[in-house]
């Protein structure tokens, strides 16, 4: 399989890129621009600053920033010294932020003070109330016992907040470039590089541990299978804190010297102007982005003739997009496999006999399909649970014993259902469990149900996903109230918005009367019947 010739670690990676593509633009955020050479130099300065402040190999470092040069430089700096990056979801509300910060044992947090009206300094204090009375550090907060320091890029008047300028100054005065070089040479492909969180099959997210070698090799392998050039300018609104935006898009683009185009926020009109100005050549994203762009009044007046590839069919030239959606190439991936583990090239159309398929195994990855109940391996063509093993598979799940994660022979049971045909082509049929896939994000129903059930008026709550042509699925909820309580679905929805990220908030919360919810004979909620009933009630409302 194709792998880089240099040692697959971030220190070697960024130095190689600076040498090969130095003055090419690596990343653009609105009007900010950064070349490959600048990314190497700035990440080296920040890496020295982190070393000066006690960050070392294996130290967990959180980043709470949107896509752009700052996020990129933080990742490179953290990984260059062998520390472990923990990307934080910028949609997180207080409850979610507290859980991730505590579960991941973050030692150092690098963050923006605010984003799109969200005050992160205030939210961090709400997540850890002891922080409000803390001084400049080292911190010692009972709610987040491992957190020792926070550095903020921008204005933050809290006593506990250091600045990026402080961090850089420490490195320049205390850490010689030669020492950074010596530290970098101690970084190996086997070292953990990131803990990437995504929703799992329970209410709490899972943290997949990926090594330096996995991230560099897999992104290189995926980039080698794409029609990607150094001259490409790739727009992808997928967040870097999720594996698609990080591994497939950002790091994959870097391997060939391409430019990644970012925006502070997606706005169809402004985005169309941005894509025209930047002469975008490749567009990667989820379906609802393309729909919003193509339906905007400015769409037909904008010059997007530079576009030549991608997976956003609504804005690509018609000659590049098969009319039948089931003939459009796609892939199946997950956080635990560092992105796609099956694939078909994005360009062209699938043959008719592979309609609706998800490609074949990525080079270096092995699959098998098993009976979900017995674990017995099934022959080609039989439906079951998809299992995966190979170089791109995570090292493990953070704070879980290996034996609880992997089969004895190293396979990982994905929870996805489907089958491989005799030619090794995957046909994916959905999740075995109840995971909702909305707009590219995985939502665990039980997490939303727990929030709704915490409201005193709510007796019970049940959440399902309904088919949605734009976003894949929509999150919908059914609620039964306590006797004597009177609250509207809209009022409950407004309160859920204060607890959860926007993409997890139910589109509708339907109030059911006592005894109206469908249950099985064993006393469990019948979610299939509930989904059917909710669809009717929502349509009739």
Question: pLDDT of 430-473, one tens digit each?
Answer: 777 777 888 878 787 888 998 999 999 999 999 999 999 888 89
Instruction: Examine the domain organization and report whether 103 and 199 are in the same domain.
Output: yes
For residue 190, give the 3-state DSSP assignment.
coil
Q: Does any domain span residue 267?
A: no
Q: Which of 20, 129, 29, 102 is nearest to 70 (CA)?
A: 29
Instruction: Examine the domain organization and report whether 427 and 440 are in the same domain.
Output: no
Instruction: Examine the domain organization and report whether 176 and 79 are in the same domain.
Output: yes
Q: Does any domain span residue 302?
A: no
Out of 170-179, 280-289, 340-349, the most confident range is 170-179
Per-chain mean pLDDT for the chain: 93
Q: Does any domain span residue 6?
A: no
**Interval 365-374: pLDDT, tens:** 999 999 988 9
Instruction: Examine the domain organization and report whether 521 and 483 are in the same domain.
Output: yes
Instruction: Examine the domain organization and report whether 457 and 526 are in the same domain.
Output: yes
Instruction: Examine the domain organization and report whether 206 and 107 are in the same domain.
Output: yes
Instruction: Examine the domain organization and report whether 371 and 507 are in the same domain.
Output: no
Q: Residue 378's pLDDT band (boundaries 50, 70, 90)?
A: very high
Instruction: Examine the domain organization and report whether 390 and 493 are in the same domain.
Output: no
Instruction: Examine the domain organization and report whether 344 and 455 are in the same domain.
Output: no
What domain range is 73 assigned to? 37-211
Mean pLDDT of 38-46: 98
Q: Last residue of a domain, which of 163, 194, 211?
A: 211
Predicted local confidence at residue 4, as pLDDT: 85
Q: Last residue of a domain, which of 191, 211, 231?
A: 211
Residues in the chain: 541
Predicted local confidence at residue 437, as pLDDT: 82
Q: Does any domain span residue 317?
A: no
Q: Does any domain span residue 452?
A: yes
- Asked if residue 138 has a cis previous peptide bond (ω within 30° of 0), the answer is yes
Work out the burial of residue 541: count CB atoms within 10 Å of its CB; fewer than 13 is exposed, 13-18 middle, 19 or more buried: exposed
Q: Does any domain span residue 294?
A: no
**Is the dihedral angle over the CA atoms 253, 259, 265, 267 positive or is it negative?**
negative
User: pTM value?
Assistant: 0.85
Q: What is the CATH number of the domain that holds 415?
A: 2.30.38.10
- Token pair recorded at residue 110: 């690098």
Q: Last residue of a domain, which of 211, 226, 244?
A: 211
Q: What is the CATH number of the domain that holds 513?
A: 3.30.300.30
Instruction: Examine the domain organization and report whether 180 and 60 are in the same domain.
Output: yes
Instruction: Examine the domain organization and report whether 206 and 337 are in the same domain.
Output: no
Predicted local confidence at residue 472, as pLDDT: 87
Q: Does any domain span residue 12?
A: no
User: Rounded CA gap, 120 and 155, in Å?
Assistant: 11
Predicted local confidence at residue 202, as pLDDT: 41
Q: Does any domain span residue 197?
A: yes
Alpha helices in 303-459 (DSSP H): 445-453
Domain count, the chain: 3
Q: What is the CATH number of the domain that holds 45?
A: 3.40.50.980
Instruction: Examine the domain organization and report whether 56 and 99 are in the same domain.
Output: yes
H or E stretch covering 282: strand 282-283
């Amino acid at each position: 399989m194709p792998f880089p010739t240099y040692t697959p670690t971030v220190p070697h990676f960024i130095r190689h890129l600076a040498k090969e593509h130095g003055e090419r633009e690596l990343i653009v955020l609105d009007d900010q621009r950064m070349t490959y050479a600048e990314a190497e130099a700035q990440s080296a300065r920040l890496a020295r600053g982190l070393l000066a402040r006690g960050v070392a190999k294996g130290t967990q470092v959180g980043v709470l920033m949107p896509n752009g040069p700052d996020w990129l430089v933080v990742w490179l700096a953290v990984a260059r010294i062998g520390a472990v990056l923990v990307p934080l979801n910028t949609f997180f509300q207080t409850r979610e932020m507290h859980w991730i910060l505590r579960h991941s044992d973050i030692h150092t947090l690098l963050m923006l003070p605010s984003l799109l009206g969200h005050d992160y300094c205030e939210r961090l204090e709400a997540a850890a109330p002891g922080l409000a009375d803390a001084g400049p550090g080292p911190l010692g907060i009972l709610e987040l016992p491992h957190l020792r320091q926070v550095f903020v890029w921008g204005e933050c008047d809290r006593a506990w907040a250091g600045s990026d300028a402080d961090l850089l100054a420490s490195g320049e005065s205390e850490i010689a470039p030669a020492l950074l070089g010596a530290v970098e040479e101690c970084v190996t492909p086997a070292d953990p590089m990131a803990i990437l969180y995504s929703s799992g099959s329970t209410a709490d997210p899972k943290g997949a541990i990926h090594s330096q070698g996995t991230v560099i090799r897999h992104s290189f392998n995926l980039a080698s299978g794409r029609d990607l050039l150094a001259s490409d300018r790739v727009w992808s609104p997928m967040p870097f804190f999720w594996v698609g935006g990080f591994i497939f898009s950002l790091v994959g683009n870097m391997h060939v010297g391409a430019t990644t185009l970012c925006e502070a926020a997606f706005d169809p009109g402004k985005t169309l102007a941005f894509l025209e100005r930047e002469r975008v050549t490749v567009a990667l994203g989820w379906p609802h982005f393309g729909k919003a762009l193509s339906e905007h009044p400015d769409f037909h007046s904008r010059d997007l003739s530079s576009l030549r590839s991608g997976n956003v069919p609504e804005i690509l030239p018609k000659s590049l997009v098969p009319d039948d959606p089931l003939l459009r190439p796609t892939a199946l991936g997950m956080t635990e496999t560092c992105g796609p583990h099956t694939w078909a090239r994005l360009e062209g159309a699938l043959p008719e006999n592979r309609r609706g398929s998800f490609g074949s195994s990525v080079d270096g990855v092995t699959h098998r399909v098993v009976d979900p109940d017995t674990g017995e391996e099934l022959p080609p063509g039989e439906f079951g649970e998809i299992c995966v093993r190979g170089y791109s598979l995570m090292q493990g799940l953070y704070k879980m014993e290996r034996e609880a994660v992997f089969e004895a022979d190293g396979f990982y049971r994905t929870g996805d259902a489907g089958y491989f045909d005799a030619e090794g082509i995957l046909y994916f049929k959905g999740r075995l469990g109840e995971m909702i896939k909305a707009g590219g994000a995985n939502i665990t129903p039980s997490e939303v149900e727990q929030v709704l059930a915490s409201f005193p008026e709510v007796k019970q709550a049940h959440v399902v996903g309904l088919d949605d042509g734009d976003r894949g699925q929509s999150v919908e909820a059914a609620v039964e109230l306590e006797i004597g309580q009177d609250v509207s679905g809209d009022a409950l929805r407004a309160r859920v918005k204060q607890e959860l990220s926007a993409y997890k908030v139910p589109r509708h919360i339907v109030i059911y009367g006592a005894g109206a919810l469908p249950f099985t004979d064993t006393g469990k909620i019948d979610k299939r019947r509930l989904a059917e009933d909710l669809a009717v009630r929502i349509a009739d409302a």
